[in-house]
Amino acid sequence: MNLTVAITGASGAVFCREALRALEADDRVAQVSFVPSENSLRVLAEELGVSGRNGLLEKLLGAPAKKTVQLSDSDIGASIASGSYPSAGMIVLPCSMGTLAAIANGLANSLIARAADVTLKERRPLILCVRETPFNRIHLRNMTLSADAGATIFPCIPTLYNKPVNSDEMARQFANRVLAHIGLQQPGAYVWKGEE
Ligand SMILES: Cc1cc2nc3c(=O)[nH]c(=O)nc-3n(C[C@H](O)[C@H](O)[C@H](O)COP(=O)(O)O)c2cc1C
């Protein structure tokens, strides 16, 4: 399958890094279209010490990308801006309240907002990993609007019951949950077994 992954300027760049690494290693995935928003670059620098858009993928993946292609958020003529491109779905990870607002209201004024709009109109899975706290009523309304249009609101809330030893492991397990939701159960993902 082909997937689109967008990163926006909300806190939680490490979640996206772990998802991109997992998708690069996943044989079921043919191509990943990766779109960083302009403002995500600021957060990437703050949180991961990764600066600039040049060589961004290699810095995030820790190796040259084999199947992930970086697209510019200002390129509204990119492949994923059209419903004719065979994308299996889109993940926005993390999703800022600004990008949530654009998607919820169908602005389609950037590649991320347009690709999300296309994903919804084509009735494909759209996963919005929102991150903000606390939420105001505008945020809540935009989440409801997006969910009503077919998106899944998948907040960046990692699990603790798997006892992660550091933030990378916590982020990896969260990314595993997101990918499982889109049909890509990951090897090594923690699965709660209960008391058997
Ligand atoms: C370090 C940092 C952390 C931020 N964290 C959040 C956040 O968790 N959620 C959010 O909605 N915005 C957050 N912002 C603000 C967004 O980056 C800002 O609203 C931006 O306009 C979003 O643009 P984008 O959606 O195009 O990426 C943060 C900004 C910075 C610099």
pLDDT in tens, the chain (196 residues): 999 999 999 999 999 999 999 999 999 999 999 999 999 999 999 999 999 999 999 999 999 999 999 999 999 999 999 999 999 999 999 999 999 999 999 999 999 999 999 999 999 999 999 999 999 999 999 999 999 999 999 999 999 999 999 999 999 999 999 999 999 999 989 988 887 6
Q: Which residues pair with 36 in a beta bridge?
A: 7
Place of tokens 């994923």: 80
Q: Which of 5, 39, 72 to mutate to test the pocket of ligand 1 (most atoms within 8 A of CB)?
A: 39
Amino acid at 63: A
- pLDDT recorded at residue 188: 87
- For residue 7, give the H/E element and its range: strand 2-7
Q: How far apart are CA 88 and CA 91, in angstroms?
A: 10
Within 6 Å (CB) of ligand 1, which residues are found?
8-11, 37, 39-40, 42-43, 46, 96-99, 131-132
Distance 27 CA to ligand 1 centre (A): 32
Burial 98-118 (b: 16+ CB within 10 A, else e): bbbbbbbeeebebbbbbbbbb
**Residue 125 CB neighbours (<10 A):** 18
Distance 84 CA to ligand 1 centre (A): 31
Distance 115 CA to ligand 1 centre (A): 20
Distance 71 CA to ligand 1 centre (A): 20
User: CB–CB of 112/99 below 8 Å?
Assistant: yes
Q: Where are the alpha helices (DSSP H) in 154-193?
A: 167-181
Place of tokens 């779109």: 35
